[in-house]
Structure 1
Amino acid sequence: MHSPEEIQTIQQNLKDKGVKYCIGAYVDIHGIQKAKVVPIDHLPQMAAGSERYTGYAVDGLGQAPNDDELTSVPDLNHIVQLPWEPKIAWMPADNHFQGKPYPLSTRVALKNVLAQAAEMGYGMNLGIECEIYLLKQNADGTLSVPNPDDKLNKACYDVRGFVDSFSWLDKVGSCINDLGWDLYSFDHEDANGQFEFDFNFADALTSCDRLTFFRMMAKHYAKEEGLLATMMPKPFADKTGTGAHFNMSLYDLKTGKNLFACDPKDDPRGIGLTPLGYKFVAGILKHGRALCAVLAPTVNSYKRLVRRGAMSYFSWAPVFNSYGSNNRTNSVRIPAGGGRCESRNADGAVNPYLAAAIALAAGLEGIRENLDPGAPNEDNLYAISDEERSARGIEFLPQTLQEAIAAFAADPLIERTLGKELRSEFIKYKTEEWETYHLSVSQWEVERYSYMF
């Protein structure tokens, strides 16, 4: 909390930079931003919870029409002045209810689990790899790759495709660096029209705020180019899906030391993870099927989580609840050098606050219960037999949203972490999403069956 004097100082600094309006943006259960906008002169009131919302009007906030209103309280430690519109200051916000943090707010849920980690002496670092498509929306609403020269069968790391989209890439990359996020790499990804931005990890809350802002920022700069940027998990059946891999580690709150990092020579399994790190991984695997529901939270997500699908080569997507070293056929990977674990299930539709909350809770349970993930899997798991996978105890991740929801609903960790109401809201909205999809009639069905029968 900030004192009135501190808020006044922040307010004056923003005025000096030309800010006229403030957005205190919270997210719904899908991770979509919602907010009211106040003039800069009313920032102290907004910081005190002046902005009220009918929770029934927003997905996943669990209210009825007769309930008292929610408020949003902006986080004044994470303010971003919009680079493309400096009159506006954006800041992430938490929902409150009757003066207290609202447990159905997913950002609040993450903060609650971070507080549990802090009681154990841990903080959580999180790096999120942002894969994104830059596409053209056609008059009939379909999507296509705007660059006619970007058509290689394997377009990963393609230099020409990268340079041809440089105007948009430069805007996004410059914004990332200007905001101090430290862009250290970006490239043309595996699919035509697909790119990846990798910027430095931060504490979990900051990284989730950054992904939320990144989506809005990347879409804005694409619109300036007359194009559409999307993190939709699988926009094309025959092209690679959109990941948002979660790279996780715990650090010592007193020293800042990475508690997962060690010399691979000191690790009996040889991949550079401490015993604490392996326990964390074991917790992730124990709850891997339930966790998949929040890491891959849409109907479309499960068209990404396939071995091959309509593609001519393996999809790179994780389909097994397993871990290994620098082996991308596992859902949890320990990248070269160790010191972190990467959950590859996460896709571009993730609500980062919700997913990070469950992932951290699962990892902490692994530590508390002294769990062991077993030996790392180094084989191409796409290629080995079902019998061998079964013998190793490697199970499939859910293959549909419906299956993921069922795993989520059956796992006791979810209610312990989120509470009964937020758990129920997620199940309600995602069940409705699945049923609406399942009852719709696709063009594929029309083309296949209308002439057949």
Structure 2
Amino acid sequence: MNAKLPEQGHTAALDTETAKFAMASYVDIHGVIKGKFVPVAHLDRMLGGSELYTGAALDGVPQDINDDEVAAMPDPASATTCSWNPELVWYASDLYLNGKPFEACSRSILKRQIDAAAEMGFTFNLGIETEFFVFKRTEDGGFAPFSDRDVLDKPCYDPRPLMDNLPIIKDIVEAMDVQGWDVYSFDHEDANGQFETDFMYTDALNMADRLVYFRMMANEVARKHGAFASFMAKPFADRTGSGAHYNMSLADKETGKNLFEANDNDPHGCGVSPLAYHFIAGILKHARAICSVIAPTVNSYKRLVQQGAMSGSTWAPVYCCYGNNNRTNMLRIPSQGGRVECRAPDISCNPYLGAAMMLAAGLEGIREKLEPGEPHRENMNQYSRKEIRDMGIELLPRTLGEAVDAFEADPLSREVFGELMFDTFADFKRNEWEAYHNHVSDWEVERYLTMF
């Protein structure tokens, strides 16, 4: 993260010749965009919070049907003309209740941690790598990669399906660049139908806004080509899942200087500052609770499995440890240094909540001057479970149920989420896990129906 920051915010000016409608947008517990459209003639009212919503109608917006409605309060700097329909302008919004910020608003939860960082003199910068699938529907009601040539056992970096999908990916990339995101790379990833786009980092709030917008935009673009985008963590059991790696650094709030850049005092030789090591230690301390937020679905834990990092398996980490340019650690310090990459998040996460938990844990590590221990440069997948335990290294949760247990047991979760959202998130995810457990799968029927 040594490059110059791009200008902050989205396209703020509206083309009044083209724009017809504005969307006051916020997210539910999943980080999925919700909102109403208003004619641009009523934009001033919308910017003042005119659009009201019944929270009880949505997943994880904790209200009862008799409660006052929440209002979407748009951020004017976030105005984004939607590439797939220039008549529509999107605004990221905070939820308000009775004229005050709503405690359980995902965006506000992140803003509270950003304010805590600012009080310590920091700006939290974040880059998120977007991995996703492009599929088409099949005649039998299933799905398959959009390209008929996307069939290799090891399709990573294969240009042929990328070229076949280029009309879709090109439209997505051009839509990102129109908004000033500065896409610098895109490729076919390690599973059939899987792609990644990489673009310039920015402050954490702006990056979270961009990720939720990206998921909506990519799906709308794909639909125009007869395809759909999937942000499921792991659609195929025998192929890699889709990550959303968090690339994190703290900058001096006044000067913008990257405070994670290595200086003469690099105690562990990984290319970052002592401040960054404290940040790392804080995340490791709370890693298992954080996991429930950055890997938030039942399916997420099909990606976080203890297997060798090879094509057709997984590149996702399961060990609560850090190291240099080593992808088998949860936290990796890339060879360029100056930032910390968390490899555990997947593309289905709510980025506001994930970034809030990550930042809060890192700030605790800085305040308490926690130490992360020595880095791991070896392939962690080569160790046995006993060897991992003997080294004092924890494993990330193996199921959503285990992750929710860790979330509830860690005081940081309640501190970051607030009472209302803490209870809502824990209850919602607990119910999701129990519903999955009560479902009788095809695997069970095939294995047990005539076994005895």
**Is the Cα contact below 8 Å between 2:240 and 2:311 reproduced in 1?**
no
2:205 matches 1:202: no
Mean CA deviation greater in 133-142 or 188-197:
133-142
1:285 aligns with: 284
1:326 aligns with: 325
- Kindly provide the amino acid, as one letter, of the partner of residue 314 in structure 2: S
Q: Deviations over 1:109-154 (max 9, x none)?
A: 0001101111101110000000011112224442222323212211
**Is the Cα contact below 8 Å between 2:172 and 2:217 reproduced in 1?**
yes
**Is the Cα contact below 8 Å between 2:12 and 2:76 reproduced in 1?**
no
Q: How far is the alpha carbon of 1:438 from its aligned partner?
A: 0.8
Q: Secondary structure at the match of 2:123?
A: strand
1:296-375 aligned within 5 A: 296-308=295-307, 314-375=313-374
What is the CA–CA distance in structure 1 between the aligned matches of 2:346 and 2:329, rounded to whole Å? 15
1:377 aligns with: 376
2:136 matches 1:136: yes
1:94-243 aligned within 5 A: 94-243=94-243
Q: How far is the alpha carbon of 1:48 from its aligned partner?
A: 1.2
1:41-56 aligned within 5 A: 41-56=41-56
What is the CA–CA distance in structure 2 between the aligned matches of 1:14 and 1:312, rounded to whole Å? 45
- Kindly provide the amino acid, as one letter, of the partner of residue 182 in structure 2: D
Q: Secondary structure at the match of 1:134?
A: strand
Q: Secondary structure at the match of 1:181?
A: coil
2:387 aligns with: 388
**Is the Cα contact below 8 Å between 1:245 and 1:342 reproduced in 2?**
yes
Q: Deviations over 1:210-245 (max 9, x none)?
A: 001110111111111111111110000000000000
**Is the Cα contact below 8 Å between 2:154 and 2:312 reproduced in 1?**
no
**Is the Cα contact below 8 Å between 2:146 and 2:165 reproduced in 1?**
no
Pair 167,275 (structure 1): closer, same or farther in 2 beyond 3 Å: same
CA RMSD of aligned residues (A): 1.8
1:55-70 aligned within 5 A: 55-70=55-70
Mean CA deviation greater in 147-156 or 395-404:
147-156
What is the CA–CA distance in structure 1 between the aligned matches of 2:311 and 2:38, rounded to whole Å? 52
Q: How far is the alpha carbon of 1:43 from its aligned partner?
A: 1.1
What is the CA–CA distance in structure 1 between the aligned matches of 2:344 and 2:414, rounded to whole Å? 21
Runs of 4+ aligned structure 1 residues displaced above 3 Å come to 10-13, 308-314
Q: How far is the alpha carbon of 1:164 from its aligned partner?
A: 1.8
What is the CA–CA distance in structure 2 between the aligned matches of 1:261 and 1:78, rounded to whole Å? 29
What is the CA–CA distance in structure 2 between the aligned matches of 1:357 and 1:12, rounded to whole Å? 25
Q: How far is the alpha carbon of 1:62 from its aligned partner?
A: 1.2
- Kindly provide the amino acid, as one letter, of the partner of residue 438 in structure 1: H
Q: Secondary structure at the match of 1:279?
A: helix
Q: Deviations over 1:68-101 (max 9, x none)?
A: 1110011111110111211110011110000011
Q: How far is the alpha carbon of 1:197 from its aligned partner?
A: 0.2
What is the CA–CA distance in structure 1 between the aligned matches of 2:364 and 2:286, rounded to whole Å? 10
**Is the Cα contact below 8 Å between 1:306 and 1:315 reproduced in 2?**
yes
- Kindly provide the amino acid, as one letter, of the partner of residue 248 in structure 2: M
Pair 312,83 (structure 1): closer, same or farther in 2 beyond 3 Å: closer
- How many residues align? The count is 443
What is the CA–CA distance in structure 2 between the aligned matches of 1:104 and 1:305, rounded to whole Å? 28
Q: How far is the alpha carbon of 1:256 from its aligned partner?
A: 0.4
Pair 20,184 (structure 1): closer, same or farther in 2 beyond 3 Å: same
**Is the Cα contact below 8 Å between 1:284 and 1:366 reproduced in 2?**
yes
TM-score, normalised to structure 2's length?
0.95
Gaps in structure 1 of 5+ consecutive residues: 1-9
**Is the Cα contact below 8 Å between 1:131 and 1:195 reproduced in 2?**
yes
What is the CA–CA distance in structure 1 between the aligned matches of 2:13 and 2:169, rounded to whole Å? 30
**Is the Cα contact below 8 Å between 1:307 and 1:314 reproduced in 2?**
no
2:258 aligns with: 258
Gaps in structure 2 of 5+ consecutive residues: 1-9
2:450 aligns with: 451
**Is the Cα contact below 8 Å between 2:154 and 2:311 reproduced in 1?**
no
1:442 aligns with: 441
State, as a whole percentage, how many aligned pairs show the same letter. Answer: 51
2:3 aligns with: none
2:249 aligns with: 249
Q: How far is the alpha carbon of 1:452 from its aligned partner?
A: 2.3
1:267 aligns with: 266
